[in-house]
Structure 1
Amino acid sequence: MPLPGDLPHDRTESAGYGRAMQRRHPASRTGRPRSAAADTAILAATRQALVDLGWSKLTLSDVAVRAGVAKTTLYRRWAGKNELVVDAVAELFDELTLPDRGSLAADIEGVVLQFAAILARPEARSGLMAVVAEATRDEALRERIRASIVDRQKRLVIAGRARAQERGELPPESDTERSARAVDLIFDMVAGSVVHRTLVSNQPADAEWVHGLTRVLLSGLAASAR
């Protein structure tokens, strides 16, 4: 989960993000091109089925009916329910944007509030909790969550740190290994805090709470940069 900054605008980062999207929905080698409208309908139907039925009762047949597509259409795109649900949840987090709000603190608060708002949606809450619960006994599912949700959203942390460094709010980082560890730690701290607050403690991640989280995070970032 995300931190401050802007969505990548340079060709290298944009290309990398495009490749990540292709890995989530690999193109078929044969047959007709995939329909983006069908993919959108299927993923939306999956999220609604999770809200209505829960993980245990959700079936690909039900999703196909809700989406108005043939069941074979789902199997051409996803190997099974696990992959389908992860992609349906991942699509929600792809809605996150990182507007430039003028300072590192404001950027953090803005994107964390967005993240909390997404987690407040029934389809995000149901979907994320379901896949995390299932992943406790399924290594392949854990890896898909890591690749489709966690790793893809770390791009926001990378972009946010780079923007803060350009502003002079954070010092430049030349040690690539240390930088990568910092990205992982920042992501875990923010995502873990918001998920625990909203889904485990069932408390609101409102502006006051987010402001406090941001102050604690920035204190840590300043200390770790020394």
Structure 2
Amino acid sequence: MHDEPARDQPEDPPLQRSKGRPRSTTADDAILAAARSLLADGGWAGLTMGDVATRAGVAKTTLYRRWNSKHELAIAAVAEMLGTLHLPDRGTDLRADIEDVVRRFAALLGRPEMRTALMGLVADSTSDPALRQRIREEVVDPQKRLVVEGRARAKSRGEISAPGDIDVDLVFDVISGTVVQHILVSAEPATDAWVQRFTTFVVAGLLA
């Protein structure tokens, strides 16, 4: 038996279809919105995967394909909220940049869903090293971009002489740690006077 002529063979193999349907960003948004709503309404104990699915109007399988635990979902919700923080380019000085981000961060921490999620995650992470690592990688470390951006602007304006003059990790810890302590632990408001006093302290240390 003779082989089939080469011209009868297709030039290219058929395209492989990817398995499964594309992930729906609409479902993601609905789930995260439902999680934030439940955190605000019912606190940490009120956040259950079943209730999130019901409020979001999605099947549990849809929810678990995206986030397989309450902790993962809460981390995603917190990371999304913190992702809205930015440094508007006022073109002025380092003090204005720091004061602006302190106000914005304090306002976020004042939201019940953010406060509930953060305190619940931190409490549960005390006995869960893997959860602490996830929080550090997905919530804490990405926000250091604000310090990096602020440092670059200060250098471009001649306020600092070199990028290495500001320790990103230390500055982040000082600012975020103080604001978290003030808002979440001490439960004090971020008044204009407090924000200005704190900013003066930070800038004095940075530019000393």
Q: With structure 1 as the length reference, what TM-score do the two structures score?
A: 0.80
SS in 2 for 1:165: helix
Report the counterpart of residue 73 of structure 1 in structure 2. Answer: 62
State the shift of 1:188 in Å: 0.5
State the shift of 1:89 in Å: 1.2
User: Which of the numbers 170, 173, 180 marks the counterpart of 1:195?
Assistant: 180
State the shift of 1:105 in Å: 0.3
**After superposition, where does 1:128-207 map in structure 2 within 5 Å?**
128-173=118-163, 182-207=167-192
Q: Give the AA of the match of 1:134.
A: D
C-alpha distance after superposition, 1:10-58 (max 9, x if no partner): xxxxxxxxxxxxxxxxxxx841111111111111111211222232342
Q: Which moved more, 1:45-54 or 1:192-201?
A: 45-54
**After superposition, where does 1:1-40 map in structure 2 within 5 Å?**
30-40=19-29
- Cα distance in structure 2, aligned partners of 1:103 and 1:172: 16
Poorly superposed stretches of 4+, deviation over 4 Å? none
Quick one: structure 1 residues 173 and 98, their matched pair in 2 at CA, closer, same or farther if it must change by over 3 Å?
closer
Indicate the structure whose relative CO is greater, using CA pairs within 8 Å and at least 6 residues apart.
Answer: 1
Runs of 5+ consecutive residues of structure 2 not aligned to the other structure: 1-17
- Cα distance in structure 1, aligned partners of 2:180 and 2:155: 27
Report the counterpart of residue 48 of structure 1 in structure 2. Answer: 37
- Cα distance in structure 2, aligned partners of 1:63 and 1:79: 12
- Cα distance in structure 1, aligned partners of 2:70 and 2:19: 23
SS in 1 for 2:58: coil
Report the counterpart of residue 94 of structure 2 in structure 1. Answer: 104
Report the counterpart of residue 11 of structure 1 in structure 2. Answer: none
- Cα distance in structure 1, aligned partners of 2:170 and 2:200: 16
State the shift of 1:79 in Å: 2.2
Q: Give the AA of the match of 1:190.
A: I
Matched, 1:86 2:75: yes
Larger radius of gyration: 2
Report the counterpart of residue 5 of structure 2 in structure 1. Answer: none
Report the counterpart of residue 210 of structure 1 in structure 2. Answer: 195
SS in 1 for 2:163: coil
- Cα distance in structure 2, aligned partners of 1:49 and 1:173: 42
Instruction: Percent identity, please.
Output: 57
**How many equivalent pairs are there?**
190
